[in-house]
């Protein structure tokens, strides 16, 4: 009983559409239907179709193929489509021939795109179609997830912005102010700043005599004035009622702060509706000497300075004394 | 994955009837039930429309066309579909599909769990795929499965499908 099997070329074509039969000297004898799509017109030799995959193996395609007869994996680059690397194996069935069977490996989807291959170009045993199916399914899901994540991120940003914003005036609320102060007191940030605590004088009269809509309008205009005072790294916040806070980055001197505070007060006085004589009292604290865990103390100290202004007759500015443990700094403008 | 299913259904409902959907990604059955009630449409009919709508989504259409070279091939390999879904995700409990082919050429598709919703979804999807492949057939959904009577596989020209998404469409 013999264990040899003779296959006609039709059977080879169906079983291995990417086979290639060479003579020992590298001359192409015949090829499977898919392999024929890879062989350029007029190609006679294996070297006309392939190059080695690494630079040192160039020019000796046949020695690579012969070496692989022993059982190693063969890897060949297409000469005319260098992005496509074929892998496969080779047997020597006798009669002075070498029989190669090759596949596209990881360059499959490139090969399908470049060569316009169809389902019929692959043997049903191969996983080419399943691989392409999976690749497309993965891409579709990834794209959809990316869109979904972006949607969630935008929604979160909106929610965060809303949670940090005072709905009446559009400037920060208390929560937003605390977040800003936490960031500015972070030692890695390290920039000095001033906290200006502001409370309107005689505001209650506006609400009582002219009604809440006029009071609300005034609060919005005060917020607009304070908003105009802030630069890109400064913050303006409304803590509720007629109480506002400005956080101004920079190394401020008492005189500069005093002058700026008075400008704010004059600006607010000009907004005063009717004869309500609305003005503002300011308490200012410099950030030197406060650490990241001292936000409450910082705001309490600015509140003390604010009440010093109130007690001193309203419509004025008080700057809190620097904490004793803080080195004396030269007073300079920002 | 569940969120993506909910989002797809949300988009389907929006496209179908400019129906206003709550965007908080409710579970699919809740969304569909509510929409069916509001649109005064039988639930199974709405789910069938969803099956047909899925086929019109380019990415899903391409994945489906990977599953068969013509409509009959697609139909007779329909039992691969749950396994293909599991290749992609473990997150969706897709029921097993059984096929029987009668001597008269009729194909019967039955779903393992007998879920009427999946059955409605699949029959909508099959109708749209038959159209896509240019096949003429009658698809009837009954209590015990879907009956498909293919009368002409080449009734119209199939929509062109190329294996590579990168090859430009004609």
Q: Supply the DSSP string of A279-300, one letter for each residue.
A: EEEEEEEE-TT--TT-HHHHHH
> Catalytic residue among A216, A242, A258, A325, which?
A242
User: Quick check: B66 and A141 CB within 8 A?
Assistant: no
- Option in A116, A117, A133 nearest B66 (CB): A133
Count of A–B CB contacts within 8 Å? 54
**CATH assignment of the domain containing A204:** 3.30.70.270
Put simply, the answer to whether B166 touches A113 (Cβ < 8 Å) is yes
Residue A169 pLDDT more than 50? yes
Strands A279-286 and A317-319: what pairing? parallel
Residue B165 neighbours by CB distance under 10 Å: 17
pLDDT of residue A4: 83
Q: Which residue has the higher pLDDT, A60 or B71?
A: B71
Instruction: For residue A123, give how far its alpha carbon lies from the nearest alpha carbon of chain B (Å).
Output: 14
Q: What integer is the mean pLDDT of A41-45? A: 93
Mean pLDDT of chain A: 89
| ipTM summary value | 0.86
What's the mean per-residue pLDDT of chain B? Answer: 88
Question: Which residues of B, range 34-93, sit inside 8 Å of A by Cβ?
Answer: 59-60, 62-63, 66-67, 69, 84, 87-89
pLDDT tens for residues A65-86? Answer: 998 998 989 999 999 999 999 9
Domain annotation covers residue A227: yes
* Average pLDDT rounded to a whole number, residues B119-131: 95
Say if residue B15's pLDDT is above 90. no
A173 pLDDT above the threshold of 90: yes
How far apart, in whole angstroms, are the C-alpha atoms of residue B91 and residue A304? 60
**More confident: B153 or A321:** B153
Domain end call among A64, A92, A125? A125
**Token reading at A297:** 């103390």
Do residues A111 and A180 both lie within one domain? no
Cross-strand partners of A279: A201
Structural domain contains residue A149? no
**Looking at the domain assignment, is residue A267 inside a domain?**
yes
Assess whether A209 and A313 both reside in one domain.
Answer: yes
Question: So what's the pLDDT on residue A55?
Answer: 58
Q: Is the pLDDT of residue A326 over 70?
A: no
pLDDT on residue B20: 66
What CATH number should be reported for the domain whose range is B69-152?
A: 3.90.1520.10
How close A61 comes to chain B (CA, Å)? 30
Instruction: State which residue of chain A sits closest to B24, comparing Cα positions.
Output: A152
Tell me, yes or no, whether A333 lies in a domain. Answer: no
Nearest CA in chain A to B80: A130
CA distance B112 to A112: 36
Q: Which of A90, A125, A160 is the last residue of a domain?
A: A125
Of B88, B164, B166, the CB nearest to A137: B88
Please report, for the domain that includes residue A108, its CATH number: 3.30.450.260
Outline where DSSP puts E strands in A53-211. Answer: 74-78, 85-94, 97-103, 193-201
A92 and A188 belong to one structural domain: no
For testing the chain A interface, which of B163, B167, B170 should be mutated: the one with the most A CBs within 10 Å?
B163
Please classify residue A156 by burial: count the beta carbons closer than 10 Å to its beta carbon, then call 0-12 exposed, 13-18 middle and 19+ buried.
exposed
N-to-C CA span, chain B: 33
CB contact under 8 A, A113 and B167: yes
| Band of residue B170 on the pLDDT scale cut at 50, 70, 90 | very low
What's the Cα-to-Cα distance from A135 to each of A103, A141, A142, B169, rounded to whole Å? 18, 10, 10, 19
B95: alpha, beta or left, given left = phi > 0 and alpha = psi -120 to 50? Answer: beta
Q: Which residues pair with A196 in a beta bridge?
A: A246, A284
pLDDT one-digit tens code per residue, B72-95: 999 999 999 999 999 888 888 888
The whole-number pLDDT of residue B23 equals 58
The boundaries of the domain holding residue A119 are 9-125
Dmax (CA) for chain A in angstroms is 121
Q: Given CB atoms, is B2 within the 8 Å cutoff of chain A?
A: no
Catalytic site residue A242? yes
Within-domain flag for A67: yes
Nearest to A120 by CA among B64, B162, B48: B162
Share of chain A above pLDDT 70, in %: 95
* Number of compact structural domains in chain A: 2
- A133 contacts in B (CB within 8 Å)? 63, 66-67, 84, 87
Domain ranges of chain B: 2-41, 69-152
Collect all residues of chain A within an 8 Å Cβ-Cβ radius of residue B67.
133
At B22, is the pLDDT very low, low, confident or very high (cuts 50, 70, 90)? low
Cross-chain Cβ contact A119/B163 below 8 Å: yes
The answer to whether position A57 is within a domain reads yes
The model's pLDDT over A249-287, given as tens digits with 9 standing for 90+, comes to 998 888 899 999 999 999 999 988 878 889 999 999 999
């Amino acid at each position: 009983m013999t264990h040899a099997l003779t296959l006609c070329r039709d059977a080879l074509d169906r079983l291995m559409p990417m086979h290639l039969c060479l003579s020992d000297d590298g001359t192409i004898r015949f090829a499977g239907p898919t392999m024929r799509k890879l062989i350029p017109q007029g190609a006679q030799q294996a070297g006309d179709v392939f190059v080695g995959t690494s630079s040192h193996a160039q020019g000796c395609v046949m020695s690579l193929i012969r070496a692989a007869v022993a059982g190693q994996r063969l890897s060949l680059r297409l000469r005319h489509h260098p992005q496509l690397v074929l892998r496969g194996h080779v047997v020597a069935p006798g009669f002075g021939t070498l029989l190669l069977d090759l596949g596209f490996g990881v360059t499959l989807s490139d090969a399908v795109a470049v060569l316009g291959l169809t389902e019929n170009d692959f043997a049903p045993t191969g996983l080419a179609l399943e691989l392409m199916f999976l690749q497309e399914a993965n891409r579709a899901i990834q794209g959809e997830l990316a869109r979904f994540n972006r949607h969630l991120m935008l929604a979160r940003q909106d929610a965060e912005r809303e949670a940090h914003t005072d709905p009446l005036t559009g400037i920060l609320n208390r929560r937003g102010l605390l977040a800003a102060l936490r960031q500015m007191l972070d030692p890695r940030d390290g920039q000095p700043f001033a906290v200006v605590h502001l409370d309107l004088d005689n505001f209650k009269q506006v609400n009582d005599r002219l009604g809440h809509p006029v009071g609300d309008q005034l609060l919005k205009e005060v917020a607009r004035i304070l908003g105009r005072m802030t630069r890109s790294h400064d913050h303006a916040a409304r803590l509720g009622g007629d109480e506002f806070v400005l956080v101004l980055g920079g190394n401020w001197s008492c005189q500069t702060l005093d002058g700026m505070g008075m400008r704010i007060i004059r600006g607010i006085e000009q907004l005063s509706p009717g004869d309500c004589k609305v003005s503002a009292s300011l308490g200012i604290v410099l950030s030197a000497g406060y650490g990241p865990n001292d936000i409450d103390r910082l705001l309490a100290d600015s509140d003390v300075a604010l009440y010093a202004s109130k007690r001193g007759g309203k419509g004025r500015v008080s700057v809190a004394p620097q904490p004793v443990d803080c080195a004396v700094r030269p007073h300079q403008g920002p | 994955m569940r969120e993506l299913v909910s989002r797809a259904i949300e988009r389907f409902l929006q496209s179908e009837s400019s129906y206003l959907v709550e965007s908080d990604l409710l579970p699919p059955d809740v969304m569909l039930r509510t929409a069916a009630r509001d649109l005064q449409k039988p639930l199974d009919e709405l789910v069938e429309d969803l099956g047909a709508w899925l086929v019109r989504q380019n990415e899903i259409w391409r994945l489906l066309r990977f599953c068969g070279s013509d409509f009959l091939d697609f139909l007779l390999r329909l039992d691969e579909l749950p396994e293909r879904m599991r290749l992609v995700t473990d997150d969706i409990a897709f029921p097993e599909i059984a096929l029987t082919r009668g001597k008269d050429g009729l194909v019967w598709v039955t779903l393992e769990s007998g879920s009427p919703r999946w059955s409605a979804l699949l029959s909508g999807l099959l109708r749209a795929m038959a159209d896509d492949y240019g096949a003429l057939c009658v698809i009837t959904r009954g209590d015990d499965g879907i009956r498909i009577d293919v009368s002409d596989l080449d009734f119209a020209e199939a929509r062109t499908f190329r294996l590579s998404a990168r090859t430009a469409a004609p």
